[in-house]
Structure 1
Amino acid sequence: MGKEPKGVTDIGKVFKKVMNSSMSQWKQIQQLQIKYQEQVGYLYDDNFPMDIRQVLSNYIESQDWDTAANHESMATVLLSNLLSQLDRQCSQEQNFLQRHNLKFIYQQLQTKCKASPLLMAGVISSCLREERRIISTASIQEQGPLEKSMQNSVAFERQKNMDNRVAVIRSSVQMMDQAVKYLEDMQDDFDFRYKTLQSRDPVDRNTEVMKQEVTRLQEMLNNLDFKRKENLSKMSDVIKEIDALIVSQLNPELMEWKRRQQINCIGGPLLTGLDQLQNWFTLTAQSLFQMKRQLDKLGELILKVTYESDPIPLQRPQMEEQVKYLIYHLIKSSFVVEKQPCMPTHPQKPLIIKTGVQFTTKVRLLVKLPEVDYQLKVKTIFDKDLPPGRVNRQFFILTTTTKVMDVEESSNGCLSVEFRHLQLKEKKYVNGTKVNEGPVSVTEELHSLSFEAQFNIQGINIDLETCSFPLVVISNVSQLPGGWASVMWYNLLTDEPRNLGFFASPQRASWGQLSEVLSWQFSTFAGRGLNREQLCMLGEKLMGQQASQNECQVSWSKFCKENIHGKNFSFWMWLDSILELIKKHLLPIWNDNCIMGFVSKETERARLKDKEPGTFLLRFSESHLGGITFTWVEQSDSGEAKFISVEPYTKSRLSALPFADIIRDYKVITDGEVPENPLKFLYPDIPKDEAFGRLYNSQQNKVFPYIPSMLIPISTLQTTPPPCSSPEPPMSPGMFDMLTQHLSPLEIETAMRSPYSE
């Protein structure tokens, strides 16, 4: 007996465990470890309560929320159905407390669904996607480097510290209000006594009473001077504290959110924290504006009372400039791209724009400013201020480029604007000269979308500007896979917001980073990520045996541009074609974990050789783009294991017949014998009908007025080699008659496929 490859036993156990029953996504979550369930718990809030996810799990998982999140009519229909089912669930619920809670949730949800169906559909879509990613992470049993960086164990403590620090500053500023008011009262008292003394008869000024009054006034002035200095000192300390807060915590938190946004764009963890950032930015801005008013008040006080060495005119101008500087830069940095540019037709592939196709994007001001509501006009500019020669193709925005920011009540009252109908058109001629493509390919040419706005608040002129992450502009949908590879590679490896020359000399990626992102592609687009064994096979295919090392470096060219040895396609083109095949033709089978998928021929044979005859497994073709094949084991006359593979099925074949039905009805004819189905057990030992039964096409069980027809996949298996290498001839009339006798009353449309070995 040969020795099985490392990891065979483990994956066999995992494969069998998952295949014992077909589980919904929500049931899979309920079987996760507590630490993963807690991550799921963070997804749900008042916008979309977990109670709804629990009671309507089947309905929620059966709908296409990704598409609904970009089509209002579809979102409205799906949410209306969801509310109807929830209302029915309320009426059927026997538990009084649960019925009460569901009714309350129904009322709240009804309001939100009517107000913003697209937002609600987007929330549900994001939650489902994040659930899939968490399930995928749990199957690997080890978080990758990017996942760990996005879920830093000290993040919660850091956030708590930030909350406390902002609260302390707000409290200090509020106390300064009282201090300034007390200072004003002291000054009013001094001013009254001083003017009273001035109004006295000059004859009385040398009396003892007058001398005491002058002494009293001097003490009051000394106290007033002391309080002014004290207040200014405290205000200076608060300004320094706000400055330190912005530099050491607020700006880094914003930069970290932007990095999380990059990782989320390429399939990473759900993007959260913007509302929290808005809260911090707004409270900090409120503190600064309040201090500006306090400084303005001090300026009014010295118009009434001032004296030699008065600290207010000496210190106030510099402090006022500091406050204005902080306000300017705080508001300027709070102008962010909340939703990166994305075509509604490809909601999970942002930052790729096709000419002539509408795309959407959204910008937001993290400081809530009632003074400028409905006044901020935001203008979009494509490829602003690019250095000469940086891009070869040039584009302009065909549609309206200016919109006014509005208060978004459904999102904590933030000030935002969403551009939903932007569209690019290419400039074929620039200055009368036709534009030609340069040395950089279309999908490696990066572009930028900028946003600008101007406004004045309390005498401070602020020029707002932000930009999207670099974009890839395509003119044909065939360029989409290459464009997505560029988006993944850029956002994986750099946090620079506008490094448009990145692909002139692209960085290398470690296999640890890249494998994590590849698994995200499967959890995002196909519902289930890749386990360690599958990723190991991909690593070996890309880099050889050295792929076992996570720190092994992969070049951009190796990943996307160079052809696999002996093939006419690259690694990424091969992998992307498999993703498309799963998404369009194999999704239920893939999510039920029936497809082992990425396994070498050597490992495949090692796993099958000691199994019962008729045991088979499904794997993706290594020689065909977007192909899937199955291999089964038989026992030869000599007692040795014999392995038989079928020629890969591609999208053209699977468009005509579901893959589960192919497995159910597959027949092999051996030297004129009665056709038989050789497929008995899905690896490791699951009866075929138990594994695929729920996915069989049920049409054949229905009663029709005509004899139903069925497409039967048939292979000819010869024990002796054919006399020549020419293709197999069509079935003879005698063989066809024999087949119809055994399968009557079915009308058989045969599809001749020969056993195949890659």
Structure 2
Amino acid sequence: MSQWKQIQHLEIRLLEHVDYLYDDNFPMDIRQALASWIEAQDWETAANDESMATVMFSNLLSELERVRLQEQNFLQRHNMKIIQQQLQVKYTSNPALMARVISTCLREERRILSSTCTQEQGPLEKSLQNSVAFERQKNMDNRVGIIRGSVQLMDQAVKYIEDMQDDFDFRYKTLQSRDQAERNSEQMKQEVTRLQEMLNRLDFKRKEILSKMDVVIKEIDDLMTSQLNPELLNWKRRQQIAAIGGPLLTGLDQLQSWFTLTVQSLFQIKRQLDKLGELVLKVTYESDPIPLQKPQMEERVKYLIYHLIRSSFVVEKQPCMPTHPQKPLIIKTGVQFTTKVRLLVKLPEVDYQLKVKTTFDKDLPPGRVSRQFFILTNNTKVMDIEDYTNGCLSVEFRHLQLKEKKYINGAKGNEGLLSVTEELHSLSFEACFTVQGLTIDLETCSLPLVVISNVSQLPGGWASVMWYNLLTDEPRNLAFFGNPPRANWSQLSEVLSWQFSTLAGRGLNKEQLTMLGEKLLGPHASCSDYQVSWSKFSKENIPGKPFSFWMWLDSILELIKKHLLPVWNENYIMGFVSKEMERTLLKDRDPGTFLLRFSESHLGGITFTWVEHSDNGDVKLNSVEPYTKNRLSALPFADIIRNYKVISDGVVPENPLKFLYPDIPKDEAFGRLYNSQRSKVHPYIPSTLIPISEMRSNVITTPPPSQSPEPPMTPGEFDMLNEHLCTFDIDTVSVQTLLFGGLTLDYLCMKG
């Protein structure tokens, strides 16, 4: 089933996440119309290759035109034409941008699908789900709604007091205008008594409204302290987890609603206090509560407004290079990166030119890092209103670029204490605006960044990003790797599984995680609560190997993403099986049973091992030399399984691979993954690229006398064969793979 068809079977709440992915940048109509074609293209590579992106953009328009002409519905045909024109306008000058957009959409689709798997949720994901439970959101909605209702009622109370005071003021001034002779009359005495009653009632209402305001202000203060700020911190924590492959990040629009309604209530209370101040100027009296209580209440309201708006200034999208959207928070010098900040309050008063300035490593103590950088490109932009985010203010920096500072006499700072990928940096954002007489300084910062100068440092940088965001929720602990904490294997394994679901669409199951745990911790370690050190995970080499555990695992991820995706997503690769476990699994299986596992000795290699029974009944296990990215670039892995042949002692080549472990017929498992394309234009005899291994016995045989010996090789043929012959020993059987020009031997398969 195609990825898009799987998407359409999701429940409504997950379909809402999918809907969020598609907008004017890439319409969902095109995703639907060209689903199979889109999924068959390598958009991630095209995103980093301008010429390839140009070709794929042209092909997309051609495919769209073909589908449009086949469409029978006139209105749909018209809509597709409009979309086609919009895509041309938007991406003709920058086709790589389109490739990045589509690549990101496909990757996020895979992550959404992965979240629906029946795998047991890990402790991190469970804790995140509990923290944003529906009941908490419902309680928050109710509480904010009650506050808004109370503030609205206070508006009516203030208006009532104003009307009452106007009535009192009119009667009082009327009484004052009477002649002196009338003031001692009985009617005047009654009027004075009535005025005194009105003043008493006015005093009561003033005290009452101030008391209600005090209650609401305390309620807002408690709301901010006990719920709103924790919800924001929770969202920031979930942003950290989402950055390293965790569950999709949602809830920012909900936070904006809460922030906006709360700050609107505070501003409304401020206006009510201002109105009460105006009333005092007209009517006041001894022990008037307004002059006594208003100043203190105003200060509290201003304090809450100031801190609420300051905390609403957030980094919506952490810094990320468009060339590596699945690995944010790693920046390469000289390569543009993007980031986005947002103000979670929607107020008409702030809809004006609000400038945001970015600064790199602001206020970083001297000597903290060995390298220092500055932003090469324009670092100031104006916030704008976004309609699709319900009118919030935001700004996206799309063309930031870092450059390393040059040092006099080559002197640097704290050089040598930490590796390049362990040095953490920060990107700060600042703005200032005035609203209703309040001047508010805004400042926020990104999560810690890793700055690299060479793409070979990317795996190490990503290890640092994962370790930091897994183990701390501090927003700016730049000294973290001075003494990095240990990680529980239960949490670390969950993050590692996320890497596979993010890059390959399917996470690791319980058995695979157990195998990985034994690879890292040893067979006797208690994997559930075992503490893993940073050094053991990323810096120390695996015993007997020239690479670390993470380098080995990262190379496997790259291999899957680029060459094994279809096979991996079918769950056909057992993966992290040790040779000992492999022997246990296969020894009692039928001849021709094979399993697929990743090489333990090669970086980014996959091999297969099959069962063979000798004439005397002994079981032999044969393994082929691992296939790496160079060899898999020539032939899809499923076709290698289909076409694989073994020559043994001159016997006619045969394919020893019959059943995928445990007992699935090979063609039943891999049949739909075979490359079935054949030339239909030229009447040539089709050829098939066949991987060959030669098994030699130690006994040298000579041809029978009745047979004519084959002509000897020429010296040139012998040299070419000898040059490309690779030999290795497995279970005392010599397996040799013939390679010509880096490709497996091409046998001509003739039909007819």
TM-score normalised per structure 2: 0.86
Partner residue, 1:269: 247
Q: Displacement of 1:638 after TM fit?
A: 1.7
8 A Cα contact 2:369 2:415, kept in partner: no
Which of 670, 682, 691 matches 1:713?
691
Partner residue, 2:457: 479
Q: Displacement of 1:83 after TM fit?
A: 8.4
Q: Are 2:507 and 1:533 equivalent residues in the alignment?
A: no
2:245 counterpart SS class: coil
Q: Displacement of 1:606 after TM fit?
A: 2.3
8 A Cα contact 1:336 1:365, kept in partner: yes
8 A Cα contact 2:315 2:445, kept in partner: yes
1:420 counterpart SS class: strand
Q: Which amino acid aligns with 1:464?
A: L
Which runs of structure 2 are paired with 1:153-172 in the superposition (5 Å)?
Answer: 155-172=133-150
More off after superposition, 572-581 vs 64-73 = 64-73
8 A Cα contact 2:592 2:612, kept in partner: yes
| CA distance in 2: counterparts of 1:547 and 1:368, whole angstroms | 53
Partner residue, 1:385: 363
2:506 counterpart SS class: coil
| CA distance in 1: counterparts of 2:571 and 2:555, whole angstroms | 19
Q: Displacement of 1:153 after TM fit?
A: 7.3
Q: Displacement of 1:87 after TM fit?
A: 7.5
CA deviation vs aligned residue, 1:717-746 (integer Å, no higher than 9, x gap): 1232789xxxxxxxx976999xxxxxxxxx
Which of 598, 619, 633 matches 1:620?
598
Partner residue, 2:487: 509
Task: Report percent identity of matched pairs.
Answer: 75
Q: Are 2:413 and 1:439 equivalent residues in the alignment?
A: no
2:478 counterpart SS class: coil
Partner residue, 1:757: 730
Distance change in 2, residues 1:59/1:653 (3 Å): closer
| CA distance in 1: counterparts of 2:261 and 2:723, whole angstroms | 72
| CA distance in 2: counterparts of 1:407 and 1:431, whole angstroms | 48
8 A Cα contact 2:538 2:550, kept in partner: yes
Partner residue, 1:148: 126
| CA distance in 2: counterparts of 1:577 and 1:168, whole angstroms | 55
CA deviation vs aligned residue, 1:373-399 (integer Å, no higher than 9, x gap): 232110000001112221110000000
Partner residue, 1:466: 444
Q: Which amino acid aligns with 1:589?
A: V
8 A Cα contact 1:136 1:530, kept in partner: no
Which runs of structure 2 are paired with 1:559-638 in the superposition (5 Å)?
Answer: 559-638=537-616
Partner residue, 2:381: 403
| CA distance in 2: counterparts of 1:166 and 1:715, whole angstroms | 71
Which runs of structure 2 are paired with 1:98-109 in the superposition (5 Å)?
Answer: none
Which of 229, 237, 241 matches 2:215?
237
Partner residue, 2:744: none
Partner residue, 2:476: 498
Q: Are 2:168 and 1:190 equivalent residues in the alignment?
A: yes
More off after superposition, 341-350 vs 665-674 = 665-674
Q: Are 2:14 and 1:40 equivalent residues in the alignment?
A: yes
Q: Are 2:326 and 1:364 equivalent residues in the alignment?
A: no
Q: CA RMSD in A?
A: 3.6
Partner residue, 1:199: 177
8 A Cα contact 2:367 2:413, kept in partner: no
| CA distance in 2: counterparts of 1:379 and 1:496, whole angstroms | 23
Partner residue, 1:672: 650
Distance change in 2, residues 1:59/1:162 (3 Å): farther
Which runs of structure 2 are paired with 1:63-78 in the superposition (5 Å)?
Answer: none
Partner residue, 2:292: 314
| CA distance in 2: counterparts of 1:241 and 1:111, whole angstroms | 54
Distance change in 2, residues 1:166/1:756 (3 Å): farther
| CA distance in 2: counterparts of 1:166 and 1:119, whole angstroms | 41
Ranges in structure 2 where 5+ consecutive residues have no aligned partner: 702-708, 715-720, 732-752
8 A Cα contact 2:599 2:626, kept in partner: yes
Partner residue, 2:668: 690
8 A Cα contact 1:567 1:623, kept in partner: yes
Ranges in structure 1 where 5+ consecutive residues have no aligned partner: 1-22, 94-98, 724-731, 738-747
| CA distance in 2: counterparts of 1:399 and 1:111, whole angstroms | 32
| CA distance in 2: counterparts of 1:528 and 1:120, whole angstroms | 25
2:484 counterpart SS class: coil
Distance change in 2, residues 1:153/1:347 (3 Å): closer
More off after superposition, 541-550 vs 661-670 = 541-550
How many pairs does the alignment contain? 708
Q: Displacement of 1:661 after TM fit?
A: 2.2
Partner residue, 1:9: none
More off after superposition, 686-695 vs 446-455 = 686-695
1:522 counterpart SS class: helix
CA deviation vs aligned residue, 1:274-319 (integer Å, no higher than 9, x gap): 0110011011111111111111101111111011100000000011
Distance change in 2, residues 1:697/1:106 (3 Å): closer
2:730 counterpart SS class: coil
More off after superposition, 306-315 vs 80-89 = 80-89
8 A Cα contact 2:679 2:686, kept in partner: no
| CA distance in 1: counterparts of 2:347 and 2:379, whole angstroms | 23
8 A Cα contact 1:351 1:487, kept in partner: yes
| CA distance in 2: counterparts of 1:152 and 1:300, whole angstroms | 48
Q: Are 2:264 and 1:286 equivalent residues in the alignment?
A: yes
Q: Displacement of 1:698 after TM fit?
A: 3.2
| CA distance in 2: counterparts of 1:29 and 1:541, whole angstroms | 35
Distance change in 2, residues 1:436/1:253 (3 Å): closer
| CA distance in 2: counterparts of 1:69 and 1:332, whole angstroms | 37
Higher relative CO (Cα under 8 Å, sequence separation at least 6) belongs to 1
Distance change in 2, residues 1:380/1:209 (3 Å): same
| CA distance in 2: counterparts of 1:279 and 1:83, whole angstroms | 39
8 A Cα contact 1:126 1:270, kept in partner: no
Distance change in 2, residues 1:218/1:329 (3 Å): same
| CA distance in 2: counterparts of 1:603 and 1:625, whole angstroms | 20
Distance change in 2, residues 1:45/1:672 (3 Å): closer
1:643 counterpart SS class: strand
| CA distance in 2: counterparts of 1:79 and 1:665, whole angstroms | 33
Q: Displacement of 1:430 after TM fit?
A: 5.7
8 A Cα contact 2:131 2:234, kept in partner: no
Q: Displacement of 1:599 after TM fit?
A: 1.2
Q: Displacement of 1:557 after TM fit?
A: 0.4
Distance change in 2, residues 1:574/1:64 (3 Å): same
CA deviation vs aligned residue, 1:2-57 (integer Å, no higher than 9, x gap): xxxxxxxxxxxxxxxxxxxxx333555688xxxx8466345245775999788875
Q: Displacement of 1:130 after TM fit?
A: 5.0
Partner residue, 2:236: 258
8 A Cα contact 1:288 1:323, kept in partner: yes
8 A Cα contact 1:713 1:752, kept in partner: no
Partner residue, 2:202: 224
Q: Which amino acid aligns with 2:464?
A: S
8 A Cα contact 1:137 1:143, kept in partner: no
2:562 counterpart SS class: helix
Q: Which amino acid aligns with 1:227?
A: K
Q: Displacement of 1:131 after TM fit?
A: 4.9
Partner residue, 1:246: 224
| CA distance in 2: counterparts of 1:352 and 1:345, whole angstroms | 11
1:529 counterpart SS class: coil
| CA distance in 2: counterparts of 1:104 and 1:155, whole angstroms | 44
TM-score normalised per structure 1: 0.85
8 A Cα contact 1:169 1:242, kept in partner: yes
Distance change in 2, residues 1:577/1:534 (3 Å): same
8 A Cα contact 1:365 1:416, kept in partner: yes
| CA distance in 1: counterparts of 2:452 and 2:632, whole angstroms | 29
| CA distance in 1: counterparts of 2:133 and 2:78, whole angstroms | 33
